[in-house]
Chains A and B, each alone.
Chain A
Amino acid sequence: MAHPANQRKKPDCGRWESGGREWALPGKRVWPLHLVTPVWNRGTRGTRGLSRAVAPEGSQKKGRSLLQFLADRFYDVQALREYLLRKQVLKVHQKNRPFTYIRERFGPHAAGAYFILKQGGAVKFQGKEWIRSDARGHFSLDFLKFQAVPVEAVDASGCAINYQGLDSVCEWAETAGLFICPSVVGSRKDHSASPPPPTVALKELQSLWLQRCPHVDDWCLGRLHPLANSLQELSLAGCPRISERGLASLHHLQNLRRLDISDLPAVSNPGLTRILVEEMLPSCQVLGADWAQGLPSGPEEQSRDTASPLPA
């Protein structure tokens, strides 16, 4: 399936460009990393790993240490800072809330599509064109009429999707294919008491792009296993929280043909990780760090039986 960005540049380009940077879809704003962290919230860097990538400016540092100084001495200021921290977290939760009404009314595919579009992503239904929200976050609601048309591709690049959001997307993909996933304690789903029926092979979601998503981490990758039958393309480029431990759980996705794991800052050894992932998924083209990266000098001795690497 040709990516729309490729359609823009070269007509027959089915291959991937390097680094994932050409993946910018037409009309989509790509937010650079440092704009994601709100500047007004000076002291509350606790749970946002992205802030580590930003060097604090002089005034920010002074502001933070004053707040810290006050918080050490006054309960009120400490409570205020904890409240601000909690608000950050709740904001992400609010973005990932499930839209149960839409699911009941319009079906699981429409609900999943609405969720992705609301986050700022793009959705492609089978046989239709890409649907995405414009710069102000508005999108057409025509897709709500597609009751049984499955979603073929999802582009959630740069969205604030986290485990809970991905959980609902995968759940909707599963219920669409009549696979009732056993519920998990602590989630908002009902507790299902009966064992699940045998699964029906899903030929549904084929491509999933999660590039530069700040909240996608190893747990989310473990959640992707129900899409094993259909998923052929997965892109995780630039996600700051994914490490090699999460990549190990991708071996469920045996139908995967293209995997992009380039530019993952949390992976400790990108070259070796790419080799191990290629060994784990033999029929998949893995785009990642050059395998000689990190080696001091000399040729690589490990044999590799996968497809030839693309020029990095």
Chain B
Amino acid sequence: MLRRALQPGLSRGVLGRGLGTHRGRSTLGKVEGSGGYRGSWVAPVSSYVTFRTRDPTHDGKTVGRLGEGDQNGKVSEIKKKIQSVLPRGAWNPLRDTSYLPPEHSDVVIVGGGVIGLSVAYWLKRLEKPQGAIRVLVVERDHTYSQASTALSVGGIRQQFSVPENIQLSLFSVEFLRNINEYLAVVDDPPLDIQFNPSGYLLLASEKGAAVMESNVKVQRQEGAKVCLMSPEQLRNKFPWINTEGVALASYGMEHEGWFDPWCLLQGLRRKVQSMGVLFCHGEVTRFVSSSSHTETTSGEEVTLRRIHEVHVKMDRSLEYQPVECALVINAAGAWSGQIAELAGVGKGPPGTLQGTQLPVELRKRYVYLWHCPQGPGLETPFVIDASGAYFRREGLGNNYLGGCSPTEEEEPDPGNLEVDHDFFQDKVWPPLAQRVPAFETLKVRSAWAGYYDYNTFDQNGVVGPHPLVVNMYFATGFSGHGLQQAPAVGRAVAEMVLDGHFRTINLSPFLFNRFYLGEKVQEHNII
């Protein structure tokens, strides 16, 4: 009986203060419901029998064998109680609270998408000494059904106009290339993110040719391998392109392509769990903060707020747990604006620093999958037309993914994730069919919609602390290129948290202050 009590494989709870190692077993497949993984603070099926009395109807299984069944039930109860007391059991003498987040946590990361998990990973990796910081990741939807990460097209490129974006992307590519060294977990299979190194091809008309040339110059200075092509060269290389209206094209030769974002997400989750990060399935509903008044050097009165507690409400229940925390990291993606409002960002007269809101809002984008039997071949890069329409190949079977960002006037209502198929007919198909004549005959197989965490100010990310709410850090607002910058942004935020300044990539142009000061860091190459 002692041997069976020590058997591994029973569900693992947590000894609240980290006395045991917790190996969450997460599967790499899609999560159905909440049964996908056994995280530290989530017990979808709690097999721990606590000391509350059993339901009398439980003895229904003993029908016909009254005396024996009773004994068996009692014996198994006793066994489970003993297991809970031994190491690696959860000692819950009063009530089973393994599904609740801890009462104290050093860092609370709101949002468990790729950015949030990347921040958690780098915090755990860069902390000194190891195990010093308790990190809690709060994610309200464990199926990731509306998360931008899971619905992303998965491209990664260095063809940006802002040098910081290029550096972020270059580091992220290096991270992805060595993902099995960064995210290696003993005894788990290596990750295959299915990277297609096919590159990006951006096309520019006469108007945009000069801008593209200067962008490529900046990109090459930063170390990206991009080359410019004339329409003639374009026709030679890709005979399926119709170069009418194209004045210049920039083609990424290396470190660009697309990959499987779900695999990256699951790999991060698995590694982060093995490093001891706690997960909570809940929603942040309230921040409890205190304020203090100080004077700036110019004598102006300013109110600084400090968040003390985060109220995490459990899924489908009114129960909430106040988590005392030192830092909050807002990585809630498209919903960051709401989280920031809860924390008191933007509560003040407009035009002041107090009144500057976080300009991140939800924007809906559509992605369509079609089949074209005579379409471009295996060498097709991720093509972005001058009109904004884009497409890429998917797999070996002549399937293509693509879409287009709507203009400001045509923005669809982000209330739901319903797909508008007329949008494809009117806005996506015509420019693509004009650019690639083979796309005149195609058949749409499926489509989906996802959210951009759209930064209405300048479409670039917001990274770093808020000047007034002193312990809230932002890592959001990437407007469609968050996935490809996630590893680097995670590292930058971790450096900011642990060292107080950016160490490797200087993201000071992306701080929150720019919204108040009006300094736009405009990114031109946004799709």
Expressed in whole angstroms, the minimum distance between the Cβ of A206 and any Cβ of chain B is: 21
Expressed in whole angstroms, the minimum distance between the Cβ of A88 and any Cβ of chain B is: 9
Contact A46 B177 (CB under 8 A): no
Contact B184 A85 (CB under 8 A): yes
B103 sits at the interface (CB 8 A): no
Stretch from B37-45, B166-174, B314-322, B471-479 contacting the other chain? B166-174
Expressed in whole angstroms, the minimum distance between the Cβ of A48 and any Cβ of chain B is: 8
Residues of A near B418 (CB, < 8 A) are none
Question: If A184-B255, A185-B222, A186-B171 touch, does A222 touch B197 (CB 8 Å cutoff)?
Answer: yes
Expressed in whole angstroms, the minimum distance between the Cβ of A74 and any Cβ of chain B is: 8
Contact B254 A251 (CB under 8 A): no
A265 sits at the interface (CB 8 A): no
Question: If A185-B223, A246-B197 touch, does A78 touch B186 (CB 8 Å cutoff)?
Answer: yes
Contact A223 B254 (CB under 8 A): yes
Contact A182 B225 (CB under 8 A): yes
Expressed in whole angstroms, the minimum distance between the Cβ of B171 and any Cβ of chain A is: 6
Expressed in whole angstroms, the minimum distance between the Cβ of A94 and any Cβ of chain B is: 13
Contact A252 B253 (CB under 8 A): yes
Contact A191 B197 (CB under 8 A): no
The one of B187, B197, B217 that contacts A245, using a Cβ cutoff of 8 Å? B197
The one of B20, B185, B196, B396 that contacts A276, using a Cβ cutoff of 8 Å? B396
A277: nearest chain-B partner, CB-CB: B378
- Whole-angstrom CA separation of A73 from B15 in the bound complex: 12
Expressed in whole angstroms, the minimum distance between the Cβ of B248 and any Cβ of chain A is: 16
B389 sits at the interface (CB 8 A): no
Contact A49 B21 (CB under 8 A): no
Residues of A near B88 (CB, < 8 A) are 72-73
B308 sits at the interface (CB 8 A): no
Scoring A residues 94 to 136 as 1 if CB is less than 8 Å from chain B, else 0, what string do you get?
0000000000000000000000000000000000000000000
Considering only CB atoms and an 8 Å cut-off, how many residues of chain A contact the other chain?
A: 58
The one of A52, A71, A276 that contacts B377, using a Cβ cutoff of 8 Å? A276
A31 sits at the interface (CB 8 A): no
Q: Which of A23-82 contact B (CB under 8 A)?
A: 43-49, 52, 64, 68-69, 71-75, 78, 81-82
A257 sits at the interface (CB 8 A): no
Contact B171 A47 (CB under 8 A): no
Residues of A near B223 (CB, < 8 A) are 182-185, 191-192
A218 sits at the interface (CB 8 A): yes
Contact B197 A75 (CB under 8 A): no
Contact A248 B196 (CB under 8 A): yes
B70 sits at the interface (CB 8 A): no
A189: nearest chain-B partner, CB-CB: B223
Q: Which of A163-196 contact B (CB under 8 A)?
A: 163, 181-186, 191-196
Residues of B near A252 (CB, < 8 A) are 253
A78: nearest chain-B partner, CB-CB: B21
Residues of A near B257 (CB, < 8 A) are 222, 245
**Which of B8, B220, B254, B378 lies at the interface centre, i.e. has the most chain A CB atoms within 10 A of its CB?**
B378
How would you classify the secondary structure of chain A's contact residues: helix, strand, loop or mixed? helix
Expressed in whole angstroms, the minimum distance between the Cβ of A218 and any Cβ of chain B is: 6
B349 sits at the interface (CB 8 A): no
Expressed in whole angstroms, the minimum distance between the Cβ of A187 and any Cβ of chain B is: 8
Expressed in whole angstroms, the minimum distance between the Cβ of A150 and any Cβ of chain B is: 23
Question: If A78-B186, A185-B223 touch, does A222 touch B378 (CB 8 Å cutoff)?
Answer: no
Scoring A residues 206 to 248 as 1 if CB is less than 8 Å from chain B, else 0, what string do you get?
0000000000001101110100000000000000000111111
Considering only CB atoms and an 8 Å cut-off, how many residues of chain B contact the other chain?
A: 41
- Whole-angstrom CA separation of A44 from B189 in the bound complex: 10
B245 sits at the interface (CB 8 A): no
Q: Which of B76-94 contact A (CB under 8 A)?
A: 87-88
Contact A244 B396 (CB under 8 A): yes
Contact B379 A89 (CB under 8 A): no
Expressed in whole angstroms, the minimum distance between the Cβ of B77 and any Cβ of chain A is: 24
Expressed in whole angstroms, the minimum distance between the Cβ of B277 and any Cβ of chain A is: 16
Residues of A near B420 (CB, < 8 A) are none
Contact B181 A245 (CB under 8 A): no
Question: If A78-B186, A89-B184, A191-B223 touch, does A247 touch B396 (CB 8 Å cutoff)?
Answer: no
A-B contact count (CB 8 A): 125
Scoring B residues 393 to 423 as 1 if CB is less than 8 Å from chain A, else 0, what string do you get?
0001000000000000000000000000000
- Whole-angstrom CA separation of A194 from B189 in the bound complex: 42
B243 sits at the interface (CB 8 A): no
- Whole-angstrom CA separation of A144 from B77 in the bound complex: 76
Stretch from A1-9, A14-22, A266-274, A304-312 contacting the other chain? A266-274
Contact A43 B396 (CB under 8 A): no
Question: If A46-B188, A163-B177, A195-B220 touch, does A181 touch B197 (CB 8 Å cutoff)?
Answer: no
Contact A247 B378 (CB under 8 A): yes
B237: nearest chain-A partner, CB-CB: A251
Expressed in whole angstroms, the minimum distance between the Cβ of B129 and any Cβ of chain A is: 13
Contact B254 A75 (CB under 8 A): no
B23 sits at the interface (CB 8 A): yes
Residues of A near B502 (CB, < 8 A) are none
A222: nearest chain-B partner, CB-CB: B197
A248: nearest chain-B partner, CB-CB: B378
Contact B378 A73 (CB under 8 A): no
B393: nearest chain-A partner, CB-CB: A248
The one of A47, A52, A181, A186 that contacts B180, using a Cβ cutoff of 8 Å? A47
- Whole-angstrom CA separation of A93 from B189 in the bound complex: 20
Expressed in whole angstroms, the minimum distance between the Cβ of B170 and any Cβ of chain A is: 4
Contact A245 B184 (CB under 8 A): no
Contact B379 A251 (CB under 8 A): yes
Contact B187 A68 (CB under 8 A): yes
**Which of B21, B23, B197, B198 lies at the interface centre, i.e. has the most chain A CB atoms within 10 A of its CB?**
B197
Scoring B residues 480 to 492 as 1 if CB is less than 8 Å from chain A, else 0, what string do you get?
0000000000000
Residues of A near B194 (CB, < 8 A) are 243, 245
Question: If A195-B217, A195-B220 touch, does A221 touch B197 (CB 8 Å cutoff)?
Answer: yes
B190 sits at the interface (CB 8 A): yes
B195 sits at the interface (CB 8 A): yes
A45: nearest chain-B partner, CB-CB: B187
A195: nearest chain-B partner, CB-CB: B220
B168: nearest chain-A partner, CB-CB: A185
Where the two chains meet, the residues of B that have a C-beta atom closer than 8 Å to any C-beta of A are 8, 20-21, 23, 87-88, 167, 170-171, 174, 177, 180-181, 184-190, 194-199, 217, 220-225, 253-255, 257, 377-379, 396
11 contacts between A and B (CB under 8 A): A46-B185, A46-B190, A47-B181, A49-B190, A184-B170, A184-B225, A225-B254, A246-B197, A249-B379, A269-B396, A273-B396
20 new A-B contacts at CB < 8 Å, known A68-B187, A218-B197, A273-B396: A47-B184, A47-B190, A71-B21, A73-B20, A74-B21, A78-B21, A82-B186, A85-B186, A89-B181, A181-B225, A182-B221, A183-B223, A184-B170, A184-B223, A185-B174, A192-B223, A194-B221, A222-B254, A225-B254, A245-B197
Closest 7 CB pairs of A and B: A222-B197, A251-B379, A186-B174, A245-B196, A276-B378, A185-B170, A249-B197
